């Protein structure tokens, strides 16, 4: 075997590699500057720095409709004001969430309190005293009982013949908070209602509020009334009509689970509509993506699915065609506040609205929508 000629060795620069640089904490006076420096380091620091750059580009793009997907106990973990901030500044135009996250956020909005868990009290004792443990934080059963009273009252005010969906229910609850909370009081559903950001909960029955609707229906049946009908496909149709109008779409994901996949599956759905029904499928794919989730790829679950894997499903535009993506494998309660603070520093505190949010002119089915597009 002949020896390698050291004269043929590359110097890194000639092959287009970007050099990494040492962090100098004395040079950086803001979170934004620090995260720019992170992007020039390695490992998780580089992932976070690059995620901040992609997220900034995505929310600043005036033609990009941003979908935020949420899972995990983020409201119990006191990240709710981050959601309000991103809604109020026009950084997200639609939200897909777990029902539990919205339920616990509802508790906080109505003045309920969550508490730190003390390991000195075991889970059996917690149950007896009405404390529901979420990892290291406690939800009170009384909070959830109080939530049910409000949900029941709001649903009872809706027209009897109106078919329910998660977006309709949450919009109605947002309107309730808009009417009843002090102007200065911030709340996720209130912010979403005021800024016309729809919230979709695909697995709505897998939540306290979903159970509240079932309890309401049992009560109605016992009193001789008809059940309130719920159709989850109304959410799919409303969400699809929103994204179909857009020039570009981006997705910002905290965690994974059903919200992440439900929001992403719109590309494959439109593709099979075109292939199987001959209707214009729009060729929808996300152009941007930022994900914060600690689950690794090798576990084989949906939450660990990479954006690269999503390209194979027709969910994302590949980077070779201009797609911009970043993934941070870390606890969102550490990463998310840093990202939002960085956006505030880079984009300024002025609240802006995008022209991508167009009102849905009327409630029509996708069949009628696509038929009119075809004609």
Q: Rounded to whole angstroms, how far apart are CA atoms 44 and 48?
A: 6
Helix (H) or strand (E) run with residue 174 in it: helix 166-180
- Given a contact cutoff of 8 angstroms between Cβ atoms, the answer to whether 314 and 282 are in contact is no
For helices 43-60 and 31-38, angle between their N-to-C axes, nearest 10 degrees: 120
Residue with tokens 């508790």: 107
Give how far Cα 347 sits from Cα of 32, 59, 63, 163, 181, Å. Answer: 10, 9, 16, 41, 29
User: 3-class SS at 7?
Assistant: helix
Selected catalytic residue, list 315, 358, 362, 368: 315
Residue 123, Cβ density class (10 Å: 0-12 exposed, 13-18 middle, ≥19 buried): exposed
Q: Rounded to whole angstroms, how far apart are CA atoms 192 and 323?
A: 28
Q: Rounded to whole angstroms, how far apart are CA atoms 217 and 36?
A: 53
Q: Rounded to whole angstroms, how far apart are CA atoms 170 and 151?
A: 10
Catalytic site residue 118? no
Could you give the residue numbers annotated as active site? Answer: 315
């Amino acid at each position: 075997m002949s020896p390698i000629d050291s004269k043929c060795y590359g110097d890194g620069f000639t092959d287009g590699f970007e050099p990494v640089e040492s962090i100098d904490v004395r040079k950086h006076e803001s979170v934004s500057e620090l995260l720019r420096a992170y992007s020039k380091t390695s490992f998780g620091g580089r992932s976070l720095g690059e995620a901040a750059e992609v997220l900034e580009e995505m929310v600043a793009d005036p033609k990009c409709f941003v979908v935020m997907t949420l899972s995990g106990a983020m409201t119990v973990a006191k990240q709710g004001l981050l959601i309000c901030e991103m809604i109020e500044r026009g950084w997200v135009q639609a939200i897909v969430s777990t029902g539990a996250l919205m339920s616990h956020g509802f508790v906080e909005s109505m003045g309920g309190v969550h508490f730190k868990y003390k390991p000195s009290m075991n889970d059996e004792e917690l149950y007896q005293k009405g404390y529901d443990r979420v990892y290291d934080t406690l939800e009170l059963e009384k909070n959830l009982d109080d939530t049910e009273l409000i949900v029941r009252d709001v649903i009872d005010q809706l027209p009897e013949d109106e078919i329910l969906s998660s977006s309709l229910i949450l919009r109605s609850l947002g309107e309730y908070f808009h009417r009843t909370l002090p102007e200065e009081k911030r709340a996720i559903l209130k912010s979403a209602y005021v800024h016309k950001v729809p919230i979709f909960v695909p697995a709505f029955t897998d939540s306290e509020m979903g159970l509240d609707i079932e309890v309401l229906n049992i009560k109605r049946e016992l009193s001789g009334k008809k059940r309130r009908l719920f159709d989850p496909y109304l959410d799919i149709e409303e969400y699809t009509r929103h994204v179909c109008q857009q020039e570009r779409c981006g997705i910002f994901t905290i965690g994974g689970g059903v919200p992440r996949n439900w929001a992403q599956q719109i590309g494959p759905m439109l593709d099979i509509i075109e292939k199987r029904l001959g209707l214009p499928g729009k060729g929808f794919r996300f152009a941007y993506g930022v994900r914060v989730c600690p689950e690794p790829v090798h576990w084989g679950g949906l939450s660990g699915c990479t954006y690269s894997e999503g390209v194979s499903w027709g969910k994302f535009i590949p980077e070779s065609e201009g797609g911009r993506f970043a993934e941070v494998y870390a606890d969102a309660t550490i990463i998310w506040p840093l990202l939002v603070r960085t956006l505030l520093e880079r984009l300024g505190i002025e609240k802006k609205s995008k022209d991508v949010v167009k009102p849905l002119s009327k409630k029509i089915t996708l069949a009628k929508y696509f038929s009119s597009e075809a004609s």
